[in-house]
Amino acid sequence: MQERIVITGMGTVNPLGLDVNESWRNAINGVSGVEHITLFDSSPLQVHIAAEVKGFAPEKYMDAKEARRRDRFEQFSIAAANQALTQSGFVITEANAGRVGAIISSAIGGLGSLQDAIMTNHLEGPRRVSPFLIPMLMANGGAGMAAIEFGIKGPCFSVASACASGADGIGTALMMLRSGMIDAALAGAAEATITSTGVAAFDRVGAMSRRNDDFSMTPQPFDKNRDGLVMGEGAAVIMLERESDAKKRGAQIWAELAGYGATADAFHVTAPHEKGEGGAAAIRMALASAEANAEDVGYINAHGTGTMLNDQSETRAVKAAFGTDLAYKIPISSTKSMTGHMMGATGALEVIFMVRAICDGILPPTIHYQTPDPECDLDYIPNHSREKKIDLAISNAFGFGGHNAVIAVRKYQ
């Protein structure tokens, strides 16, 4: 029997809060993080709403000079990693640094820094482009900067698999720990794509909600009247260790990271497979990895973006993986209804929400749910959180390009 991998620390900055406790409190209370965009002038665009991280002060986590040399997504990464490492009580030393990994993903990397540099090059010439641009824009910057900040000398990289990046990064860390390649890891993801280019690009794909004047009811995952996702930003990182090591040093263990599954639809560059076959296969793989049965799952944190195709495909995937009868009995919710879609970082935050749901016996809601969709007919925990004790939960992360990643988390006993 393989040794259990456990979660001993968690950290996040996201549209619902600047740490785990604040974020979780707002999530179970159904608070929306969606507001008008303040990070740039959105007036030339057709979308004027987003879920921004509010009140974030990077100087709390790093020197002000270093903060200026790091993209916003890297600042988020360091903040979340700092919180996770601090909570875990794990001390990185010269003796163990080479056995610690930093697998902090990003789907897109430093889009804001890249956009600014392109404009600078165009308007002022190449000599005005920052010499720090490359480390600011590269997708592995969140992992690399965290490794430098905390002295991590083991495997350090980012997984880029669109909106599945965070879940894939955590799943990769799980496999590395199980293999014995490392003894501990900071794993998660960071994203900061609320820029004029990012918002325009996702809007041109047809994925964005345009309810700019009345955004109090968007996004609306699984609702018949949903009209698209709302872009979010932030980071979420967890500290992972083998159970025996965590117990030896007397660490608080929050939950077991029990399983991981990943597949590809091989279907379309943006649209999911209409039958949800790839998603269903990833769910089955995650349960097998966790040595669990379908009947053991007490909650599903859905991908639930609020787009027509994604929500229908995911509903079919859940039914295909669990069977229709069982699927109707499992509570499922989309916390993206509150956080917006944080792209690659959302899957990592949703793992933290699963941990807290298991520990606290409270399932977060899908807010903004009003009108049932006949194609989306599961129990979506509408509008209000629900008290329920659960032992096992899974989180779905399905990304552009047909990337499917599923994480299973089990109550620690």
Query: Within 13 Å and on the Cβ side, how many CA atoms surround 284?
Result: 13
Q: What angle do CA 353, 357, 359 make, to 5 degrees?
A: 115
- Three-state DSSP at 216 gives coil
Whether 336 and 221 have beta carbons less than 8 Å apart is answered as yes
Q: What angle do CA 369, 374, 380 make, to 5 degrees?
A: 35
What are the angstrom distances between the C-alpha of 363 and each of 272, 294, 341, 355? 26, 19, 19, 10
Specify whether 163 is catalytic: yes
Dihedral sign for Cα atoms in the order 260, 163, 360, 364: negative
**Closest listed residue to residue 15, CA positions, set 63, 50, 61, 67:** 50
Query: Within 13 Å and on the Cβ side, how many CA atoms surround 229?
Result: 29
Query: How many CB atoms neighbour CB 295 within 10 A?
Result: 12
Which residues contact residue 97 at a Cβ distance below 8 angstroms, ignoring those fewer than 6 apart?
151, 152, 153, 154
β-pairing, 392-399 vs 234-242, is unpaired
Q: Phi/psi of residue 76, each to 5°?
A: -60, -45
Q: Say which of 273, 303, 368, 403 is annotated catalytic.
A: 303
- CA–CA separation, 195 and 391 (whole Å): 39
Q: Say which of 36, 122, 156, 341 is annotated catalytic.
A: 341
Query: How many CB atoms neighbour CB 166 within 10 A?
Result: 37
Buried b (16+ CB within 10 A) or exposed e, 380-413: bbbeebbeeebebbbbbbbbbbbbbbbbbbbbbe
Q: What angle do CA 89, 93, 97 make, to 5 degrees?
A: 100
Q: Say which of 36, 48, 156, 163 is annotated catalytic.
A: 163
Instruction: Please give the positions annotated as active site.
Output: 163, 303, 341
